[in-house]
Structure 1
Amino acid sequence: MRLRQSNMVIGLGAVFLLAPLILQAPQGVSEEGWRALGLLLAMALLWLSGALPLAVTALLPLAIAPLLGISPMATVAAYYSHPLIILFLGGFLLAKAIERWGLHRRLALTLLGYAGQSPGRILAAMMATTAFLSLWVNNTSSAMVLAPVAGAIAASQPEHPKFGAALMLGVAFAATIGGMGSLIGTPPNAVFAAHMSATYGIEIGFAQWAMVGLPTSLILLTVTWVVLARVSPGTPTAELTMSFDQDIGAMTSAERRVATVAVLTAMAWITRPLLEMVVPWVSLTDAGIAMVAAVSLFLIPAGDRDKLLDWDTAKTLRWDVLILIGGGLALAGLVERTGLAAWLGGQTPALHYLPTLALIFLVAALIVYVGELASNTAMAALFLPIASASAVALEIDPVTFILPVALAASVGFMLPVATPPNAIVFSYPSVTRTNMLRAGALLDVAGIVVAVAMGVLLGPLVFGEVSPP
């Protein structure tokens, strides 16, 4: 965006912030809620337009909420140190150690070696590896690691351009889909968990989310493979002659130690309810487990001199993502605390005439298609509190409404700007805008259907019935 355009957008955002100070609040909404609406509109505008960096917009609640009397600084600042942000911080540090010692590349090339020469199996292996990595490291990192490997394979098959396109798109789409499978995989998952905790008092742990996230990822990953391999772009039926370097050498002691920490951390997350029964005097949380793992990486030696993780490596993690999550939580919290969410939910009487399932599909589709041009975290932060309040007003189980919203926020396959993994693979010559648009359009529809189906069917089973706040 050009400077003049961005200044105009920022100016319009300022108008949204100042208007509630001049205009009288509508009946039924508090002065704080009316001002929070101005903040909500300003942040939505800035997030959607990109006039400011996403993380800078995410800092606005800290600057504006106390200034406009919406909420005290101490209350707003607490959202930026929410336990889920600590969980993400620990996950990011573990991912940095994995990346530092090349464990992710070893895993990718090892699994690829088992795929043989079949194009379909190679695509499946590449997608499965990318999705698995995205459970633990952020989607962008997993795509950045696997894209060069996929690019080398695609370059070795110039006579099969469609296979190269399918392989590159498979990496991008699998990175996004894999992130849906774990609580730390992608920020919208954390935004949903934080909202459930703050609004309904329901704590969602790593294992609980996996009961919904993993089936969703597996189904969507399978659908994606079918689309890429059999529909668009498609893969050849004949076996390929592979000609790229797969030599990764013997596993180093540093790789083994990082792998041990990662496996133990995952096991602790999954078995935390059992561990709490065994050692009831210890306060165990997913965030605490992540911090134990992260600190241990700075203590465990990688060799004679280095530790598994040093600060020069750690300081390069995505701090902007942590700020963005904090800003999303702060905005959602302010909308909820000021009563704005309940007021907005009550402004939808026409929605009473829509069947519940149709309404959920409509909201999920809106999030997916708007999200093609905006941050998925921003979409979750903006829509979750409003969807939650609407569910209460419409007497719909909140989980069956807001879980599909959270899952749909991660769907975005059509455009290069929709997700960082899409942008990464779009830079390779194998991928064209037409390739991505055709496959992505089909998968956006599939993603909406899967998100709604899994949210409606699994949400109440896993999280139980939710009482209105």
Structure 2
Amino acid sequence: MTDVFREIWSYRRLIIIILTPLLFLPLPLVIETKVAECAFTLGLMAVYWLTEALPVAVTALLPAMLFPLFGIMKSSQVNPPASKPFPPTMRKHQRVPEFTRVSSPQVAAVYFKDFHLLLTGVICLATAIEKWNLHRRIALRLVNAVGVHPGWLMLGFMIGCAFLSMWLSNTSAVAMVMPIVEAVIQQILTAEGEAIEQRKRAMTGASNPGLQLEDIDAEFEKPKEKISIVEVPHVEAHNPADCPVPHSEAPLINGRYRTHQDHMMCKGLSLCIAYASSIGGMTTLPGTSPNLIFAEYIHKFYPKCTIINFGNWFVMCLPISIIVLLLSWLWLHWLFLGSDFRSLLRSRGQSERDKAVARVLQEEYNSLGPMSRQEIITIIIFILMAVLWFFRDPGFMPGWAALFPDYSGYATDATVALLLGLLFFIIPANRPTAEKYEAMISWKDFQSVMPWEIGLLVGGGFALAEGTKESGLSSWVANLLTPIGNLPPLATITIACIIVTSITEVASNAATMTIFLPILAPLAETIHINPLYMLIPTTLCVSFSFLLPVSNPPNAIVFSYGHLSTLDMVKAGLGVNIIGVLGVLLAITTWAIPIFDLKTYPDWAPVVT
């Protein structure tokens, strides 16, 4: 019987692919309305996205196939005029009114938006940063600045990874930083073993009868002096029984760690990288795909809303990221390193382990050499891109876009990203010669970094959102959820944040965002609250996928290093999830209100009666 179940389990993807459309088939066959046909597509995509029975990018192509067959959207059409949604009760075989058929938008055009141009420019920058090792210089510089105590190391790595995630994809940031973390971990474990052996020799006098130890880092001979026992650094454990006896022969934990504290430290340093990447990514609009999907949705369905830009988003989210990052650091420190926070204030670098860690970090940084010409060019363009993004239309003052009053709204963040991103293909990396001209990045370099599947996934999300609007499904669901509107607005938003935070643990962040955007926006209109008041906190909470290794790629990367168990991630992630949701709710009820005028129903949103 076990073999039978194992055989069936091996075909689980194929079973899901076949059974799912059969289960949803009564919707278009029995109900026969445009709402039901769109719901069939939405249900099919949601199941495929949640289970990943098909690659997420392949699932995103389903609207391009199903919407034209259902008559919801045309496959292609030149310059479609503004469309009107189908009546929700329109039958499948009912003749479509002429005005509706002519105005039906094209599904193909929805798959490529301003988002894709912004993504292209950002990936050009990310490619240059990776190619010329600027990320390693930034990360190592930050870590060297904070010190070598495990608690400070954790904070330093979190700050460095969060900063990188503001401009690179979360996955790229973790892939860059985690090898450095692993090298530090191995050095710590090695130095700990050396310190224990030195302490044993000092106590027994077997290899040093005078009970004298030589400083392993000394570059010259020092006068001999008697010293006491070399102190092994101690980290408070949750269970005192777990504290090791240095001079006892204890078996290695899991074959890798000398003490329980070492194992806990490795867990904390690994998890902090994954969590910091998601926390930092939500700080900027191009930092993570849910932010970009949200911005593109607002620009498409609320074209008169001009307050969603890089500057306003950064001003609102930077305090959130700082608060969530610091509280998450304290939580992880307490969970894995103990509650002795006073040790952080003591003098650092006194133990052999701290010296060894400091040495390896400094050696890593010195191996980079002086900053190269390519790194200087990259950092100049990087700073210039951030400044132009911030001051395009900061909201509290006229931006540089005001210099073109006749073309208001023409230039976007994608314009800046493309302009500066293309410079990497033009500026020579080295002095050109008659035989060779090498630009900062090549097309091959760009292709290796560009996440093409994200482009398709986001395009499919836009098509799904357009289809739910055209068919009337989004309005139908919003009306169904209208009773929630009887609750206070903050309670409604809290429920929405908890729902998306839960769903994103088992589905990709981008897929979760594309499913809920066309549902929550009409809901906000129906209960007559500012759509941004509903969408901004849920967009941020989509990034809080911390519980499982499969929740997002950064979690999977750190899990693959073997220091963690799933239970470790669940315990730590639950606390970080709570911290994140509370931090977002704090922002949305305080400093975000004047930035986006959240307490007022805007004139750019439709009035639902």
TM-score by structure 1 length?
0.93
Q: SS of 2:160's equivalent?
A: helix
| Partners of 2:28 and 2:40 within 8 A in 1 | no
Q: Which structure has greater helix proportion?
A: 1
Matched, 1:83 2:114: yes
Q: Distance in 1 between matches of 2:338 and 2:379?
A: 35
1:272 aligns to what SS in structure 2? coil
Deviation at 1:363, TM superposition (A): 1.8
How far is 1:448 from its partner? 1.8
Per the TM alignment, residue 169 of structure 1 is displaced from its structure 2 partner at its CA by 1.1
Q: In the TM superposition, what is the alpha-carbon distance from 1:65 to its structure 2 partner?
A: 1.3
Q: Does 1:127 align with 2:176?
A: no
Find the structure with the greater CA-based Rg.
Answer: 2
Question: Contact (CA 8 Å) 1:400, 1:459: kept in 2 or not?
Answer: no
Seen in structure 2, the aligned counterparts of structure 1 residues 123 and 262 have a Cα distance that, compared at 3 Å, is: same
- Does the Cα contact within 8 Å between 1:404 and 1:456 map onto a contact in 2? no
Counterpart contact for 1:172–1:421, Cα < 8 Å: yes
CA offset digits 1:251-302 (Å, max 9, x no partner):
1111111111111111111111321223445642211111111211100001
State the alpha-carbon separation in 2 of the partners of residues 224 and 19 from structure 1: 47
The residue correspondences of 1:401-416 to structure 2 (distance < 5 A) are 401-416=534-549
Report the Cα offset of residue 459 of structure 1.
Answer: 4.4
Q: 1:19 to 1:198 in 2, by over 3 A?
A: farther
| Deviation sequence 1:435-459 (CA, Å, 0-9, x none) | 3222111111112222233234444
Does 1:230 find its partner at 2:314?
Answer: no
Secondary structure (helix, strand or coil) at the match of 1:23 reads helix
Alignment of 1:180-329 (within 5 A): 180-201=282-303, 202-203=305-306, 204-234=308-338, 237=343, 239=348, 240-241=354-355, 242=357, 243-244=359-360, 245-246=363-364, 247=366, 248-273=368-393, 274-280=399-405, 283-304=410-431, 305-316=437-448, 317-329=450-462
What's the secondary structure of 2:330's corresponding residue?
A: helix
Name the counterpart of 2:65. Answer: 63
8 Å Cα contact 1:180/1:186 also seen in 2: yes
The number of residue pairs the alignment matches comes to 464
Deviations 1:199-238 (A, max 9, x none): 2221422112212222221121111111112334548737
SS at 1:81 equivalent: coil
* 1:135-154 alpha-carbon deviations (Å, 9 max, x no partner): 11100000000001111111
Q: Name the residue aligned to 2:274.
A: 172
Contact 2:333/2:339 (8 A) holds in 1: yes
Which amino acid in structure 1 is aligned with residue 440 of structure 2?
L
| Alpha-carbon distance between aligned partners in 2 of 1:78 and 1:294, rounded to the nearest angstrom | 24
Q: By how many angstroms is 1:190 displaced?
A: 1.2
2:135 corresponds to which letter in structure 1?
Answer: H
Measure how far apart 1:100 and its partner are.
0.9
Alignment-derived partner of residue 14 in structure 1: 21
- Pairwise CA RMSD: 2.1
Q: Distance in 2 between matches of 1:455 and 1:13?
A: 38
Match of residue 566 from structure 2: 433
Q: In structure 1, what is the equivalent of residue 52 of structure 2? A: 50
User: For structure 1, which segment, 337-346 or 457-466, has the greater mean C-alpha deviation from structure 2 after superposition?
Assistant: 457-466
> Which residue does the alignment assign to 2:11?
4
CA distance in 1, matches of 2:55, 2:430: 39
Query: Deviation at 1:183?
Result: 0.5
Cα offset for 1:180? Answer: 0.2
What SS does the corresponding residue of 1:415 show, helix, strand or coil?
A: coil
Q: Residues 162, 379 of structure 1: CA spacing in aligned structure 2 closer, same or farther, 3 A cutoff?
A: same
**Aligned residue number for residue 28 of structure 1:** none
Structure-1 residue corresponding to 2:123: 92
User: In the alignment, residue 63 of structure 1 is paired with which amino acid?
Assistant: M
The one-character-per-residue Cα deviations of 1:3-58 (angstroms, maximum 9, x if unpaired) are 62212222234236643431225xxxxx3333211111111111001100011111
- The correspondence for 2:586, drawn from 453, 457, 461, is 453
Paired residues of 1:16 and 1:38 also in contact (CA < 8 A): no
Q: Tell me the amino acid that sits aligned with residue 249 of structure 1.
A: G
Point out where structure 1 has 5 or more consecutive residues left out of the alignment: 26-30
Q: CA deviation at 1:311?
A: 0.7
Mapped to 1, the partners of 2:24 and 2:70 lie a distance apart of 9
1:66-87 C-alpha deviation (Å, 9 max, x unpaired):
1221101232222222112211
Identical aligned pairs, as a percentage?
Answer: 32
Alpha-carbon offset, residue 353 of structure 1 = 4.1
Q: Does 1:33 align with 2:43?
A: no
Q: Secondary structure at the match of 2:180?
A: helix
Task: Name the SS of the counterpart of 1:303 in structure 2.
Answer: coil
- Name the CA distance, whole Å, in 1 between partners of 2:590 and 2:290: 19
Q: Which of 469, 479, 497 pairs up with 1:336? A: 469
Does the 8 A contact of 1:232 with 1:439 survive in 2?
no
Amino acid at match of 2:387: M
Code of the aligned partner of 2:329: W
Residues 404 and 120 of structure 1: is their aligned pair in 2 closer, same or farther, counting only changes over 3 Å?
A: same
- The one-letter amino acid of 2:172's match is S
Deviations 1:366-403 (A, max 9, x none): 21122111101111111121111122222333221121
Q: Describe the superposition over 1:82-125 as per-residue Cα deviations: whole angstroms up to 9, x where unpaired.
A: 11221112111211111111111111112222122233222211
1:288-336 deviation digits (Å, cap 9, x = unpaired): 1111112111000011332111011111211111111111122112212
Q: Find the residue that maps to 2:287 and give its secondary structure.
A: coil
Deviation at 1:433, TM superposition (A): 2.6
Please report how far the alpha carbon of residue 63 of structure 1 lies from its aligned counterpart in structure 2 after TM superposition: 1.8
- Per the TM alignment, residue 412 of structure 1 is displaced from its structure 2 partner at its CA by 1.1
**Per the alignment, in what secondary structure is the counterpart of residue 121 of structure 2?**
helix
Q: Which runs of 5+ in 2 are unaligned?
A: 1-7, 77-105, 193-261, 349-353, 394-398, 432-436
Distance 1:9 1:362, change over 3 A: same
Residue deviations 1:394-449 (CA, integer Å, cap 9, x gap): 23332211211111111011111111111111112333333322211111111222
Change (3 A) 1:76 1:460: farther
Distance in 1 between residues matched to 2:514 and 2:400, nearest whole Å = 32
Do the aligned residues in 2 keep the contact of 1:233 with 1:439 (CA within 8 Å)? no
Alpha-carbon shift at residue 164 of structure 1 (Å) = 2.3
Distance across 1 between alignment mates of 2:586 and 2:295: 19
Q: In structure 2, do the counterparts of structure 1 residues 421 and 233 end up closer, same or farther at CA, with 3 Å as the change threshold?
A: farther
Q: Return the letter of the residue paired with 1:144.
A: A
